[in-house]
Structure 1
């Protein structure tokens, strides 16, 4: 009797896990579909910009260009290279 109850519980848990996995997969598929549609509509610019913003670590580049010349922030590079005591 107790073993049968345990097996019933295990089957219920497996069914719940299966439903959760299906719902997660459907959500991922819908998100991918919406991204694909956004790429078509906006030419991809908005989606790429959003992904770039999501992945940005908040640090500004140490090398930037303007007027065709490169400007290197040597002070920040030296601070990173110099170990602090």
Structure 2
């Protein structure tokens, strides 16, 4: 089964709860083979993990962790570490 990207939530300066709400809304609007990605880069990797933990605490077993990808991204001359957390929803 191939997964389709429904939405990518890029974590930056806003509150964790605001991103968690965006993820929950996105998860509730996806179809069976779609995923929502929480993405953090550089200093926001920890916040992206906090967003996942808050979504998991609010939604419990109705969300499924599809995968976690860790890598690097080039921006200008610099490289930044990244994390992508893919989630799906089952009612």
Q: Please give the TM-score of this superposition, normalised by the length of structure 2.
A: 0.25
Computing the radius of gyration from Cα coordinates, the structure with the larger value is 1
Higher RCO, 1 vs 2 (CA within 8 Å, ≥6 residues apart)? 2
Higher helix share: 1
Higher strand share: 2
